[in-house]
Amino acid sequence: MLATRPLRVLLLLASAVFIITLISGYGSDGSISWFPKSVLSHDVARVSLREHMRLAEKSWSKTVEQRHELLKEWRYPEIMPLFPASSPNKYPASPYSIWDFVPASWSCPYEMERIGRMGDGGKWVCGMSLYEQLPATRPCVIYSFGVQTESSYEDETIERTNCEIWAYDYSVSNFGKQLSYEHRARAHFTQAGIAGVTNATSWPPFYTIQDLMKMNGHDYIDILKMDIEYAEFASLTSLDQAFPGDSGVELPIGQLMVELHLFGHEEMTGYNFLQWWESLEARGLRPVWTEPNLLYTTMRIEKGDPRLAEYTLVNTKDRRSVLFEGLN
């Protein structure tokens, strides 16, 4: 036992010398002075934006192929339920839910940042820094559907950018208290709902997205934020039809942040949902972020099925996009 003491002392001394050397090796800027400068200054993982888009499209295309392979497992895919593994007995034959068919497989080429509060209400934005850099001379238009009483997203967006927001919600009469007074000059609220067909004579009135754009004098929306309780399906389908892609018309949306609602009382099968989803993909919309909204599960609504999910999609076929300017 006595013979091991000198060895322990030597090991402790060696460790102390190593730590002191490591600490003294850091420069004033926090970098490691003895590390090769060529490695420190060169981001070997960075590729051009065009190359990033090519690789992201390849990754997304792979998941589309996997989606259709999975559908082939069903003799009649038209009747595939949203949540096939509804019991332990059904799990071996179909160990997935509808959300597994639509992963966020197209990676944002910039930072992903959550704007607004954590939990229900905040949204994940691709490339927020690019919107922050837009000059005041370049109009930045944001539509926000489904404000309810939570406006932290709108408040932070106006705080950090020169963008202007047009918001609509039939269930409340104004923004939530989170929107600061000094930010309200660039935030416009109307008590109205969003639908696939306009009904301006009802109260509250309901409008299509394209009709609201006409009323506001807009031909393009930089960011569209939606949380409208299942109306996203009819309203986005109507927008798609108003700007037909087969005529060479681009979908006038740069980035879409949408909460999807697959309520059990609505007539939505897994197959119908995927057809709708692929109509968005055909227009160039690619999912760069997703997260489940598990409030239905934690509150045990509709058997606790995970019927809500948040998605962020970017329009890769958009020549006016802040994210892909000059590439399309």
Cα 45 to Cα 4, 31, 51: the distances in Å are 47, 19, 12
Count of domains observed in the chain: 2
Q: Are residues 32 and 80 in the same domain?
A: no
Q: Are residues 12 and 70 in the same domain?
A: no
Cα 277 to Cα 6, 138, 311: the distances in Å are 70, 31, 12
Q: Are residues 76 and 183 in the same domain?
A: yes
Mean pLDDT of the chain: 87
Taking only the tens place, the pLDDT of each residue in 157-199 is: 999 999 999 999 999 989 888 888 889 899 999 999 999 999 9
* pTM exceeds 0.85 for this model: no
Q: Are residues 22 and 116 in the same domain?
A: no
| E strand or H helix at 8 | helix 4-24
Q: Which of 328, 302, 301 is nearest to 314 (CA)?
A: 328
Taking only the tens place, the pLDDT of each residue in 103-121 is: 999 999 999 999 988 877 7
Q: How far apart are CA 282 and CA 45, in angstroms?
A: 30
Strand 221-226 with 141-145, pairing? parallel
Q: Are residues 243 and 101 in the same domain?
A: yes
Residue percentage of the chain with pLDDT more than 90: 63
Query: Would you say residue 322 lies in a domain?
Result: no
Q: Are residues 150 and 114 in the same domain?
A: yes
Q: Are residues 35 and 55 in the same domain?
A: no
Helix, coil or strand: residue 231: helix
| Amino acid (1-letter code) at residue 223 | I
Of 23-37, 74-88, 297-311, the range with the highest mean pLDDT is 74-88
Report which of residues 269 and 241 the model is more confident about: 241
Q: How far apart are CA 319 and CA 24, in angstroms?
A: 50
Parent domain of 204: 49-315
List CB contacts of 25: < 8 A, sequence separation 6 or more. 32, 33, 34
Q: How far apart are CA 296 and CA 263, in angstroms?
A: 10
Residue 297: the pLDDT is 74
Q: Which of 238, 229, 162, 176 is nearest to 207 (CA)?
A: 238
Query: Would you say residue 21 lies in a domain?
Result: yes
CATH number, domain of 214, equals: 3.40.50
E-assigned strand segments in 78-135:
112-115, 123-126
Q: How far apart are CA 124 and CA 314, in angstroms?
A: 12
Residue 87: the pLDDT is 86
Q: Are residues 252 and 117 in the same domain?
A: yes
Q: How far apart are CA 289 and CA 276, in angstroms?
A: 18
Q: How far apart are CA 281 and CA 97, in angstroms?
A: 20
The model's confidence at residue 39, banded by pLDDT at 50, 70 and 90, is very low
Q: Are residues 171 and 284 in the same domain?
A: yes
Place of tokens 């068919």: 101
In this structure, what token pair is assigned to residue 260? 């999807």
Q: Which of 89, 88, 71, 69 is nearest to 80 (CA)?
A: 71
Query: Would you say residue 324 lies in a domain?
Result: no
Q: Are residues 24 and 167 in the same domain?
A: no
Residue 206: the pLDDT is 98
| Amino acid (1-letter code) at residue 276 | W
* DSSP 8-state symbol, 23: H
Query: Would you say residue 323 lies in a domain?
Result: no
155 pLDDT above the threshold of 80? yes
Query: Would you say residue 103 lies in a domain?
Result: yes
Taking only the tens place, the pLDDT of each residue in 262-314 is: 987 778 889 999 999 999 999 999 999 999 877 777 777 777 778 899 999 99
| E strand or H helix at 165 | strand 164-168
Q: Are residues 15 and 115 in the same domain?
A: no
Query: Would you say residue 162 lies in a domain?
Result: yes
Contact 229, 146 (CB under 8 A): yes
Rounded to 10°, the helix 49-71/270-282 angle is: 160
Contact 110, 126 (CB under 8 A): yes
Query: Would you say residue 326 lies in a domain?
Result: no
Residue 180: the pLDDT is 85
Helix, coil or strand: residue 308: strand
* DSSP 8-state symbol, 151: -
Taking only the tens place, the pLDDT of each residue in 248-271 is: 899 999 999 999 999 877 788 899
Query: Would you say residue 328 lies in a domain?
Result: no
Q: How far apart are CA 255 and CA 311, in angstroms?
A: 11
Residue 225: the pLDDT is 97
Residue 11: the pLDDT is 60
Q: Are residues 235 and 285 in the same domain?
A: yes
